[in-house]
Structure 1
Amino acid sequence: MATISIIGTGNMGTAIARLALAAGSDVQVVARDVAQAAAVDPAVTAAPFGDALTGDVVVLALPYPALDDVVTTYGDQLASKVVVDITNPLDFATFDALVVPADSSAAAGLADRLPGAKVVKAFNTSFAATLATGAVGGLPTTVLVAGDDADAKAALADAIDGVRVVDAGPLRRARELEAVGFLQLTLAAGEKTGWDAGFVLA
C-alpha cells in the first residue's frame, strides 16, 4: 500500500487526499489545526504540523511562501522521501509575475534546499475543482509531473487515482509547468475562464 502525507488542508490538499484515498493509499494529513486535518475525510490520519511524517510521498499542498517553514521544520525527515511541490510562485501583490529567477523554478529551489529528497513538481497546473471531479471539458484531468527520479514519479502516480498522470520530463521542466500554472491562474482571476477549467491532453 502506498503511504502519503499531505501538508495542508485547503482545497488542493483536500482534493489530493481524496485522490490518494481512491487509490487505496494510507493518507496522513498534517495541519496546524488538527481539527481541520481530520475534517478532510474520515479515512485520513490527522496530525499536527511538526509531528513525524508517515508517508513515503509527501505533498506540500501549501502556498509558495510556506515552503520556508516546511524546510525548517521537516528538512531532515524529507531527505529520504518523495517530495511533491504543487506551488505556483506568483507575486501575489501584482499577480503579474513569478518571483523565482527566469532560469529556475520553485521546485528547483526546493530541491537545492533538500538535497537528499526526490523532489517532483505536480498538480500546479490543475485547479482543485478539476482534481475533485476528475474531468475538464469532458476529458480526464491531466496531472503533469516533472522530476529527475523516475521511481519518485512512479510512486506519486501509484499513490493517486481518478486523474490522468503524464510524465512531463526532468525537474527542469518545472519552470514551464509553473508558467502554465501562472497563466491558468491569471486567466481565471481575470474571469476569462472558470476555476473549474484547465489545460488537458487529448
Structure 2
Amino acid sequence: MTNISIIGTGNMARAIGALAIAGGNAVEIIGRDPSKAADLAKALGGGATTGEFGAVPAGEIVVVALLYANVVPVVAQYGNALADKVIVDISNPFNAGADGLALAHDTSVAQEVAKVAPASASVVKAFNTIFGVVLEQGRPLDVFIAGDDTSAKAGVERFVESLGLRPRDVGGLNMAHWLEGAGLIVMGLARNGVGNFDFALGATTFG
C-alpha cells in the first residue's frame, strides 16, 4: 500500500483517486475549496481523507492534478511542506488551440517544478498521455514515466502497478518535455485520426 496525496479535485484527480482506492492505497484529497475536496473524498470512499491546502501532505507521493499554469505556482506556494516528497506532475502545457506547447522547447512543466521544489523532493512526470475518461475505465494502460531519481521512479512504478496499469520508464526528467509533446500527439489523434477520446498511447513488445 502507498500513501498518496492528490492536489486537485478535477477529472484526473477523481480517476487516479478511484483507481488508487481500488488498488488498496491510502488517498488524501487536497483542494483550495475544502468543500470540493470533501465531496470528492466522500465520492471515492474507501477511507479517503481530506487535507488542508498548503499544509504538509500525508502521502509520500503527491500527485499534482492541476491545469499546467497552476502547477508551478502551487508547488512554489507549498515550499518546504513538500520536502522529502515525490511530486508527480501529470499536466500538459497546451497552448490555447491545443495544437502546440505553451512552454519553450528546452523545458517542461515537470522541469520547472523541479526548480521551485525543495531540494529534498523528487519530481516525476507521469499520466499525461492518458485522458481522464480512459483512465476512469481502469483498463490495462501504459503510464509513461520520466524522472532523475531512480528510487522515486521505482516508488511511482509500484503505485502505478497497484492501479492495474503498466509503468514505462522513458528516462530522465529532461524527457518530460517529450512526454508533453506526446500528450499533444494524443490530442491530435483524438481530433483527427482516431476521432474520439477513447484510446491511449502504448508500447508493444515483441519476442
Whether the TM-score (by the shorter chain) exceeds 0.5 is yes
Q: In structure 1, how many angstroms separate the alpha carbons of the residues matched to 2:52 and 2:83?
A: 20
Q: In structure 2, how many angstroms separate the alpha carbons of the residues matched to 1:147 and 1:25?
A: 22
User: Paired residue for 1:105, among 103, 108, 124?
Assistant: 108
Tell me the CA shift for residue 191 of structure 1.
7.9
Structure 1 alignment gaps of length 5 or more: none
Q: In structure 2, how many angstroms separate the alpha carbons of the residues matched to 1:154 and 1:84?
A: 13
Deviations 1:96-119 (A, max 9, x none): 321221122111111122133200
Tell me the CA shift for residue 22 of structure 1.
2.2
Q: In structure 1, how many angstroms separate the alpha carbons of the residues matched to 2:53 and 2:193?
A: 35
- 1:185 counterpart letter in structure 2: M
Q: In structure 2, how many angstroms separate the alpha carbons of the residues matched to 1:31 and 1:118?
A: 22
TM superposition score normalised by structure 1: 0.89
Q: CA RMSD in A?
A: 1.8
Asked if 1 retains the 8 angstrom alpha-carbon contact of 2:56 and 2:82, the reply is no
Which secondary structure does the structure 2 equivalent of 1:101 belong to? coil
- 2:55 counterpart letter in structure 1: D
Q: In structure 1, how many angstroms separate the alpha carbons of the residues matched to 2:124 and 2:151?
A: 11
- Flag as ranges the 4+ runs of structure 1 deviating above 4 A: 189-192
User: Paired residue for 2:95, among 91, 115, 118?
Assistant: 91
Residue 68 (str. 1) matches residue 79 (str. 2): no
Q: In structure 2, how many angstroms separate the alpha carbons of the residues matched to 1:123 and 1:167?
A: 12
Q: In structure 2, how many angstroms separate the alpha carbons of the residues matched to 1:161 and 1:39?
A: 22
Structure 2 alignment gaps of length 5 or more: none
Q: Percent identity?
A: 41
Q: In structure 2, how many angstroms separate the alpha carbons of the residues matched to 1:95 and 1:134?
A: 26
Q: What is residue 128 of structure 2 aligned with on the other side? A: 124
Q: In structure 1, how many angstroms separate the alpha carbons of the residues matched to 2:15 and 2:173?
A: 24
- 1:109 counterpart letter in structure 2: E
